[in-house]
Amino acid sequence: MKKIFGVLVLSAWGLIAAGQVNLISNIDARKSLSLNGKWNYIVDPYETGFYDYRYKELNEKNPEAYWNTDIQANRTEKKEHGYIDKYSINVPGDWNHQQPEFTFYEGTIWYKKSFDYQKSDAGNKCYIYFGAVNYRADVYLNGKKLGMHKGGFTPFNFEVPAAVLKDKGNFLVVKVDNKRHADEVPTLNTDWWNYGGITRDVKLVEVPGTFIQDFMVQLKKNTSGKAPDKSPEVEGWVKLNQAPAAGETVTVEIPELKFKKVVPAGAQVTALNFKLPKVQLWSPATPKLYTVTVSTKTDRTTDKIGFRTIEAHGIQVLLNGKPLFMRGISIHGEIPQEVRRAYTQEDAAQLLRQSKELNCNMVRLAHYPHDEKITRLADSLGMLVWSEIPVYWTIDFTSKEVLEKAKVQLEEMITRDHNRASVIIWSVGNETPISTTRTDFMHSLLTKARELDNTRMVSAALEVNYSALNDMNVIDDPLGEFVDLVAFNEYLGWYGGLPDKCRTTNWDTPYQKPLFISETGGDGKGGFHADSLTRFSEEYMEWYYKEQVAMLKRMPAKYVGISPWVLNDFRSPRRNNPLYQEGWNRKGLFDDKGNKKKAFYILKAYYDQKQKETKQ
Ligand code: GCU
């Protein structure tokens, strides 16, 4: 038996790998104290609070360290740091939109939050949970280091040792550093704004000593090419934080289905396999969610789960056994009209509302896992989701450490959302340059994704080489062999030639797999009108979409959908045309004020026609 890591269980149907990261899933169902709100901060570009003047890391007890103590205790004390309300910032929220001087800031900011908390049971455990912090977070409580996390878009939690937590006056400090590095994920270069800070919810969570760390209750992987059985089969598992007491059991209940299943608990992970009574399958047209409770003798957690199957079958994608066409749109986790990262329920609602206005049934959340609120809202609104980790452009594919960093982000992404019916595709990256080293790196990520969850499709956005363009373009990237869905980005008419080049261009892939266009688009500054040959005008963009849509009508049978680039104009440090861009990528179908551009109506008309055609 190959040792993956974490916990392996040999079930009736082979191995289940329950992850390595000790992330607590379904966190919103847990007893918790929100630590959102105003936090004090210290801007520390020289990391003076972390290193001494010889640039050696300060040791834990050093009073100069910014994780230690508060403001000057008495007038004789030489104290050169402290936290006062005059310097306060909102959490969650990127720092860039909160203070003008932070707009371009990349570096360290220290955050401090004081709170009181009394555990309801001394035997319980407490964890500090972060929805996301960009990029590196060093976390301290009452002067004690709890841990360090890297990765700007996935959740993490640290256990609070019982001896560290106080009933009153807890002192939580987080050193946040969003500096970019060549050996990180993403690497130095991205076409999005490197918003820094504690960008998603923070909470103190209280759980029993032995608790349900993570669980997966989904329909068994469907490879039949048919609709799932009326009484579909569930395949899953329940992972506890530690080995349970003797005689422990795991119970799964779905009251609405009058369903209850009790099984003896495994060592730390208990395999689940049972048939459900007749269910309403989840789909965009019927986004039915069931209340599912998983419990043991000491713990219980409840979630809202939809049951559906998704599979790449030959050259089709089948949702509940029926062919699916994805009318998609790519989205950045940003609210343009406020120039900030998205993190509220209303933000999620805005982005999905705009997508629905385009008549989409699918969204590609690019290029990193978005806030959990949007995948949960997609579940209830019936919007299919492509979720991706930021293995973007020129990651250091030669480095084992970088591969490990990418795997941790992949596992955190999957652990958080593997019970979301809306999520149908795990993407392991975007536009990564072809080489054997890169393909091995990406292949290893695809394998890991399947190990963690074999019920969804895996993919990656492949690149097209524009210099080689001719009338028949084949997507033959070697990575295509290992994905379920062959997805590619094409910008014919923006980065390659003029839009009318589409009239003589065709696309195909040698892989007998479904084919998806994960990006296409051109810049058009909202309100700038000119003739259609004028780049950056709404008319050029409109022409671009007209030619694309006509070309899409000639796509091969393998063509199962598209997610154009991009829903909204978004901030990018790479876009510096002083007249039309000014730090914005202008490929949004909506401009940064929320106005629809002319191209919006071209794409919508195409989707309306596709919806009629596919009756989906
Ligand atoms: C790329 C990339 C996007 C980028 C877009 C563009 O394909 O994946 O992140 O923003 O093209 O150039 O606008």
Q: What is the mean pLDDT of the chain?
A: 94
Is there a contact between 571 and 339 (Cβ–Cβ < 8 Å)? Answer: yes
Locate the ligand 1 atom nearest the alpha carbon of residue 585 and give its number: 13
pLDDT digits (tens, 9 = 90+) for 484-538: 999 999 999 999 889 999 999 999 999 999 999 999 999 999 999 999 999 999 9
pLDDT digits (tens, 9 = 90+) for 109-150: 999 999 999 999 999 999 999 999 999 999 999 999 999 999
Other CB atoms within a 10 A radius of the CB of residue 241 amount to 20
Distance 572 CA to ligand 1 centre (A): 10
Does ligand 1 lie within 6 Å of residue 177's CB atom?
A: no
Does ligand 1 lie within 6 Å of residue 432's CB atom?
A: no
Does ligand 1 lie within 6 Å of residue 431's CB atom?
A: yes
Distance 616 CA to ligand 1 centre (A): 29
Does ligand 1 lie within 6 Å of residue 585's CB atom?
A: yes
What pLDDT does 466 receive? 65
Rounded mean pLDDT of 297-313?
97
pTM of the model: 0.96
What pLDDT does 4 receive? 44
**How far is 384 from 299, CA to CA, in rounded Å?**
32
Lowest mean pLDDT among 193-202, 218-227, 517-526, 595-604: 218-227
Q: Is pLDDT above 80 for 459?
A: yes
Rounded mean pLDDT of 194-212?
98
**How far is 491 from 499, CA to CA, in rounded Å?**
9
Does ligand 1 lie within 6 Å of residue 586's CB atom?
A: no
Is there a contact between 484 and 517 (Cβ–Cβ < 8 Å)? Answer: no
Identify the band that residue 83 occupies on the pLDDT scale cut at 50, 70 and 90.
Answer: very high
Does ligand 1 lie within 6 Å of residue 565's CB atom?
A: yes
Report the amino acid identity of residue 43.
V
Does ligand 1 lie within 6 Å of residue 519's CB atom?
A: yes
Q: Whose CA is nearest to atom 12 of ligand 1?
A: 191
Q: Whose CA is nearest to atom 10 of ligand 1?
A: 191
User: Which of helix, strand or coil describes residue 293?
Assistant: strand
- Among 393, 569, 585, say which to mutate for ligand 1: greatest number of ligand atoms within 8 Å of CB: 585
The residues pairing with 489 across neighbouring beta strands, listed in sequence order, are 463, 519
Does ligand 1 lie within 6 Å of residue 235's CB atom?
A: no
Straight-line distance from the first to the last Cα atom of the chain, in angstroms, rounded to the nearest whole number: 44
Locate the ligand 1 atom nearest the alpha carbon of residue 495 and give its number: 12
Residue bearing the bigger pLDDT, 445 or 68: 445
Q: Is pLDDT above 70 for 73?
A: no
Rounded mean pLDDT of 54-62?
92
Does ligand 1 lie within 6 Å of residue 190's CB atom?
A: no
Locate the ligand 1 atom nearest the alpha carbon of residue 392 and give its number: 8
Does ligand 1 lie within 6 Å of residue 201's CB atom?
A: no
Q: Which bin fits 548, alpha (ψ -120 to 50), beta or left (φ > 0)?
A: alpha
Q: Is pLDDT above 90 for 469?
A: no
Q: Is pLDDT above 50 for 11?
A: no
pLDDT digits (tens, 9 = 90+) for 166-191: 999 999 999 999 999 999 999 999 99
Rounded mean pLDDT of 357-363?
98
Lowest mean pLDDT among 266-280, 386-400, 469-483, 588-602: 469-483
Of all residues in the chain, the percent with pLDDT exceeding 90 is 89
Residues in the chain: 616
